[in-house]
């Protein structure tokens, strides 16, 4: 039987744990609000001197020159080239790996392959950047001689390899959480293994799969060291992945290493670029939630 003192201890323990969890949740909210406010206030200072139209649609980005230009399109294009290239590599390979691990691989093979995939996620990004510069770029130059030393293609390949375990691991977890009763129902109706995977498992785990895509792409957008080492630091408005580009994060690193005087336009440009990164990532999350909700409504 429970004694009154034990009941009191349990009650206070539950209240304590509840308050700790509430504090953590509120702290995360206030941290996010503080970051957004910091970016917003400093970005507003930048836009007091540079028009939004010039910033968003200008084709020259030279904020550290004597005659600075503040057109962010070259940075956005460089970021998109690297991100799209990485997604083209990571999403199909990661998803197919997850399907194999979840639906086809024996347990012994799954126990061996999944840790190896997760090891890739634990490698520091600077190692991937060095690998891209010293191995991937020379290989690309042998295949396509006009490839520049610093180029978006090698950065895309390295970032794609880095984020592929995110897609594979999270998608595999989502598919493993699908009840076996749904699979058995499909088999009872005469469906093949592939038909069960395509028509039952993937639709049932779609929210988790989409979340893995968004998390991986967001990781690619925010990647810094790989693009700094492999893609270069030349703001270049181009769609050619064999040329050197500069991404949004690479500029932040470049400018942060320089002697930027507080209160100058070049200093506030860092926050404007950070705000662009935040808006892109936030928009991706909204888009993914929209897709998941539409899918849930369609399944009902």
Q: What is the pLDDT of residues 66-76, one digit of tens each?
A: 787 888 899 99
CB 210 within 8 A of CB 288: yes
pLDDT in tens, 248-290: 888 888 777 766 677 777 788 888 888 888 888 888 878 777 7
How large is the average pLDDT for residues 80-107? 90
Q: Report residue 188's pLDDT band, with 50, 70 and 90 as the boundaries.
A: confident
| Level-2 CATH architecture, domain 73-299 | Orthogonal Bundle (1.10)
Domain locations along the chain: 4-48, 73-299
Please identify which residue in the block is written with the tokens 């580009």: 245
The total number of residues shown for the chain amounts to 300
Does 4 score more than 70 pLDDT? Answer: no
Phi, psi of 297 (to 5 degrees): -65, -40
- Coil, helix or strand for 196? helix
Tell me what percent of the residues of the chain surpass a pLDDT of 70. 93
Q: What is the pLDDT of residue 111?
A: 83
Q: Is the dihedral of CA 122, 123, 124, 128 positive or negative?
A: negative
Rounded-to-integer distance, Cα 65 and Cα 173, Å: 49
């Amino acid at each position: 039987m429970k004694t009154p003192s034990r009941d009191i201890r349990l009650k206070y323990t539950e209240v304590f744990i509840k308050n700790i969890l509430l504090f953590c949740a509120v702290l995360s909210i206030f941290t996010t609000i503080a970051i957004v406010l910091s970016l917003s206030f400093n970005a507003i200072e930048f836009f007091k001197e540079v028009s939004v139209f010039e910033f968003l649609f200008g084709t020259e980005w030279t904020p550290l020159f004597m005659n600075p230009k503040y057109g962010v399109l070259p940075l956005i294009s460089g970021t998109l080239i690297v991100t799209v290239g990485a997604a083209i590599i990571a999403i199909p390979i990661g998803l197919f790996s997850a399907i194999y691990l979840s639906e086809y691989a024996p347990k012994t093979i799954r126990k061996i392959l999944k840790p190896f995939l997760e090891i890739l996620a634990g490698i520091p990004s600077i190692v991937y950047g060095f690998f891209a510069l010293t191995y991937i770029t020379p290989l690309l130059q042998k295949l396509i001689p006009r490839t520049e030393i610093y180029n978006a293609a090698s950065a895309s390949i390295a970032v794609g390899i880095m984020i592929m375990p995110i897609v594979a691991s999270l998608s595999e977890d989502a598919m493993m959480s699908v009840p076996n009763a749904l699979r058995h129902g499909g088999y009872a109706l005469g469906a093949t293994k592939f038909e069960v995977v395509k028509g039952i498992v993937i639709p049932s785990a779609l929210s988790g799969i989409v979340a893995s895509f968004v998390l991986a792409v967001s990781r690619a957008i925010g990647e810094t060291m790989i693009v700094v080492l492999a893609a270069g630091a030349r703001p270049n408005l181009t769609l050619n992945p064999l040329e050197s580009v500069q991404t949004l994060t690479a500029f932040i690193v470049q400018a942060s290493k320089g002697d930027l005087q507080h209160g100058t336009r070049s200093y506030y440009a860092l926050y404007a670029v950070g705000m662009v990164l935040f808006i892109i990532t936030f928009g991706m999350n909204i888009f993914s939630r929209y897709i998941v909700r539409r899918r849930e409504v369609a399944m009902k």
